[in-house]
A and B are shown apart, each in its own frame.
Chain A
Amino acid sequence: MSLSAKDKLAVKTFFGKVAPKVEDIGREALARTLFVYPQTKTYFSHWADLSPSSPQVKKHGLTVLNGVLSAVELIDDLKGGLLTLSELHAFMLRVDPANFKIINHNLLVVFAMMFPDDFTPEVHVSVDKFLAQVSLALAEKYR
């Protein structure tokens, strides 16, 4: 399910709207991941506060969504461009790749909430495909 030219354009256009709100969206998506899927909290046992209002959740949500935004720039070669990030996730963080689907889902939910008119079904399918490709690239070095 690789990205067509139409997908890439839709992704670049939509994430252009996401970029100015990267802090809010990142925080919301991560907060929902931790709250709605409590098993994901196991990766953050070293944080004092895992609630949606936590400063650590805010900071890390921004880190994660900035990562996704950087992937938009690398959309023509995700595997190559995300190699270092993949090594980080594979060897250091060792996040089970099943969790990538979870955060992707919550990103889609927050996009729908914040951009009800822009997040049309056509944009939705292109963004979903893109996030799936990012997840695959991130999982590249796992084994």
Chain B
Amino acid sequence: MVEWTEFERATIQDIFTNMNYDVVGPQSLARCLIVYPWTQRYFGKFGVLYNAAAIMGNPMIAAHGKVVLRGLEEAAKNMDNIKATYADLSVLHSEKLHVDPDNFRLLGDCLTVVVAAQLGAAFTPEAQAAFQKFLAVAISSLQRQYH
């Protein structure tokens, strides 16, 4: 059972309530595919990923970035039970999508960079610590059903 401080809960709610999903989702996924190009292996049917410009402008990637971020929003809404919330998603990523869990961390890092760019100085060290702890818990829950 994960212990959250009041500050951590408030910070996560704050970030996700004020999140611009239409910008942060697409930008995070696109950034991941550009910075860690091997992650493109999971997006063979997503159209043109030839270069950074193509990835940034790809509407299928943009749509999927929003899907992923809304998935994280579910965890933010269920912070005391992320494990159960993600049980089915974990099976999906393992059994159907066959995603190497190391990729979750890579996407998480890109999301952190995009959120930092959005929030600027408001992304204090304390906020960063809370956000990264949240991501670590979400990632761990997403890995849980792998076998």
**Chain A residues with CB below 8 A from B104, complex form:** none
A39 CB → nearest B CB, Å: 13
The reply to whether the CB of A81 lies closer than 8 angstroms to some CB of chain B is no
Cβ of A124 and Cβ of B109 under 8 Å apart?
no
Q: Which of A94-143 contact B (CB under 8 A)?
A: 105, 108-110, 112-114, 116, 119-122, 124-125, 128
**Chain A residues with CB below 8 A from B113, complex form:** 108-109, 112, 119, 124
Dominant SS among interface residues on chain B: helix
The reply to whether the CB of B44 lies closer than 8 angstroms to some CB of chain A is no
Cβ of A113 and Cβ of B132 under 8 Å apart?
no
Most buried by A among B30, B117, B118, B128: B117
Dominant SS among interface residues on chain A: helix
Q: A15 CA to B84 CA in the complex, in Å?
A: 44
The reply to whether the CB of A19 lies closer than 8 angstroms to some CB of chain B is no
Cβ of B125 and Cβ of A119 under 8 Å apart?
no
Q: A52 CA to B52 CA in the complex, in Å?
A: 35
Q: A125 CA to B112 CA in the complex, in Å?
A: 15
Cβ of A121 and Cβ of B121 under 8 Å apart?
no
Cβ of B117 and Cβ of A124 under 8 Å apart?
no
Cβ of A121 and Cβ of B52 under 8 Å apart?
yes
Interface Cβ pair total, 8 Å cutoff: 54
Cβ of B116 and Cβ of A35 under 8 Å apart?
no
Most buried by A among B31, B55, B125, B126: B125
Cβ of B35 and Cβ of A112 under 8 Å apart?
no
Cβ of A121 and Cβ of B125 under 8 Å apart?
no
Contact of B117 among A31, A112, A122 (CB under 8 A): A112
Please encode chain A, from 72 to 97, with 1 for each CB lying within 8 Å of some chain B CB and 0 for all others: 00000000000000000000000000
Q: A116 CA to B27 CA in the complex, in Å?
A: 12
The reply to whether the CB of A58 lies closer than 8 angstroms to some CB of chain B is no
Contact of B116 among A31, A113, A125, A128 (CB under 8 A): A113
**Chain A residues with CB below 8 A from B118, complex form:** 116
A116 CB → nearest B CB, Å: 4
Cβ of A32 and Cβ of B117 under 8 Å apart?
no
Additional pairs, 7, CB under 8 Å, beyond known A36-B125, A36-B128: A35-B125, A109-B128, A113-B120, A114-B120, A121-B35, A121-B55, A124-B34
Q: What would be 18 A-B contacts, judged by CB atoms less than 8 Å apart?
A: A32-B128, A35-B129, A36-B128, A108-B109, A109-B123, A109-B128, A110-B116, A112-B113, A112-B116, A113-B116, A113-B120, A113-B121, A116-B118, A120-B52, A121-B30, A121-B35, A122-B34, A124-B31
